[in-house]
Structure 1
Amino acid sequence: MTQGDLGNALRTLGERESGTARLEESVVACRAALEERTRERVPLEWAKTQNDLGLVLWTLGKRESGTARLEEAVAAYGAALEEMTRERVPLQWALTQKNLGNALQTLGEREQQHGSIAVAGD
């Protein structure tokens, strides 16, 4: 639990700073939390931590020029949604869907800027 809280605190600090050091530390803390908050033991806590990891990866991805972090964020949100279903936790499901949509939008914009995807009419 402490690693998850640390990850969120570092993400908040990192969002206020121009560098990425605290965000990188947040990723490490979230991944450490996932070692204890396993899907088998605490599936909804695991999903919440996956969502938190997705948030920090999306934040990093917006600051970087590539797509790797954005793709990792999409994967983390997708993992979270395996447990955060609409039936079980509708509000958390909706928030995670929103986060996933934001990450996919940023990823699509980045790919379009880099000419990685075909645009209709080209």
Structure 2
Amino acid sequence: MDRIALRGLRARGFHGALPEERALGQTFLVDLVLGLDTRPAAEADDLTRTVHYGVVAEQVVAVVRGEPVKLIETLAQRIADQCLVHEAVQEVEVTVHKPQAPIAVPFEDVTLTIKRSRA
């Protein structure tokens, strides 16, 4: 399986379990690894035989900016579902970063990584 990776997609969302997170919002970062067979596209030099990662990036940002959820687990699942809409994508690994999570002690980042496939 070949891999196309998008790192550091950035969007403001209003996700979180706390009321202030949903009211004020925060920046989320998303990393994606799309699993697909790129041979048909490479052989034909044809974009329609692969996944257009620019379109995927725009769709993922729209999910982050979209309907608020309480859990980053739910957000990650919605992102994975959106990626798997693309016919060429057979599996996806999604990492959601929440660097502004409301944690009382100093920290750098909170992440959740999921892997989903057409099964």
For Structure 1 versus Structure 2, the TM-score category normalised by the shorter chain is under 0.3
More strand by share: 2
Tell me: higher relative CO, structure 1 or 2? Use CA pairs within 8 A at least 6 residues apart.
Answer: 2
Structure 2 length as normaliser, TM-score?
0.28
TM-score normalised by L of structure 1: 0.27
